[in-house]
Structure 1
């Protein structure tokens, strides 16, 4: 589960990503292309992974990459390859599957035979496509956190409302009252709050918290 304090207006309701690391090897005319996919949460994490990969594969000819983050933050690098043949092609593969918060690195070992601009671009694109395992793509839905304080006699009704609006109880506290922290999809919030007010006769104390999380849906793509 990834949390953020950004405005819901700047966040998509759903994203697709990959959490599991994967690596594939593609060969073309004696050149070897090692592709890796990593899940990332921000550009600092991407840069740290890239630094590690450059040290590990220090003898490689090129370390080309692309990544895409929330709010469509993009970055790609040809790392010395002809412009547009590597980083952009890797990014095209990421966008082909509509992925977010992923970094794909393609490490090339030059085999002595030049491929030409067209075949080179195809090799990077195919390498990036190959490393994306469709079975490992997960779909995440956007949720916002809400705190609700209610009297104990409303708890059973509260749970029914949470279930009806596909909510997730993140935490609970009990003292003189019952306090719950619930994750709700932004599109359901107004109706959810109105329903809680109705069942508690307006006694529920409700606070919308500007914290958002992406959580895996029951079905993956």
Structure 2
């Protein structure tokens, strides 16, 4: 089971021109639909004078969407979405802003223009590998600190938060593919309480 995915590490941009029309491709990393809405509002404010703001996004395998924003059906959003899919990316939004140049491009011309603008914007963006983690809360006494730290080190656990008061608490992220094994090891350690978040 793959426990990682690729996304964009920042924003990228491209400019494609066809018969006087300008297509500006923009890439963004987004974690949820709320963030998609916020980014789209910003883009529409910045490029308020553009004719179309077409986009596609993939959050994960089950959450994705394409929008033609007034262009003929499937001539803009789907080609954009196709470029994100072809690179197997997640948590990515690509917006292509169009300034109409006065000459109609026809459906095949539009598909090519939106596809190219999206492709080039993604090419101009650095990719980032994201490991999918399962999160846990650990609770243990001071006497177990060395044992717990060794366990965390063995599983290359990401320590999100630690709190040492009268007892020790830690919030940790464990690589999804190792989560079952990590839980088993924790349960073997007497006095260590583990709770999945």
- The question of a shared fold, defined as TM-score above 0.5 by the shorter chain, is answered with yes
Q: Deviations over 1:55-104 (max 9, x none)?
A: 33232222111111135212211122222211100000111111112211
Q: Which residue of 2 aligns with 1:81?
A: 71
Could you tell me how far apart the structure 1 residues matched to 2:88 and 2:80 are?
Answer: 13
Against the structure 1 CA distance between its residues 126 and 172, is the aligned structure 2 distance closer, same or farther, given a 3 Å change threshold?
A: same
Q: Which residue of 1 aligns with 2:10?
A: 20
For structure 1, list consecutive stretches of 5 or more residues without a partner in the other structure.
1-11, 210-221
The alignment's TM-score, normalised by the length of structure 2, stands at 0.88
Moved more, 124-133 or 94-103: 94-103
Q: Which residue of 1 aligns with 2:105?
A: 115
- 2:34 is the alignment partner of 1:64: no
For structure 2, list consecutive stretches of 5 or more residues without a partner in the other structure.
none
Q: Which residue of 2 aligns with 1:183?
A: 173
Against the structure 1 CA distance between its residues 99 and 157, is the aligned structure 2 distance closer, same or farther, given a 3 Å change threshold?
A: same
Could you tell me how far apart the structure 1 residues matched to 2:39 and 2:186 are?
Answer: 45
Could you tell me how far apart the structure 2 residues matched to 1:43 and 1:189 are?
Answer: 27
Moved more, 15-24 or 47-56: 47-56
User: How many pairs were matched up?
Assistant: 196
Task: Using the TM superposition, give the Cα deviation of residue 35 of structure 1 relative to its aligned residue in structure 2, in angstroms.
Answer: 0.9
The alignment's TM-score, normalised by the length of structure 1, stands at 0.80
Could you tell me how far apart the structure 2 residues matched to 1:208 and 1:47 are?
Answer: 31
Against the structure 1 CA distance between its residues 151 and 56, is the aligned structure 2 distance closer, same or farther, given a 3 Å change threshold?
A: closer
2:21 is matched with which residue: 31, 50, 64? 31
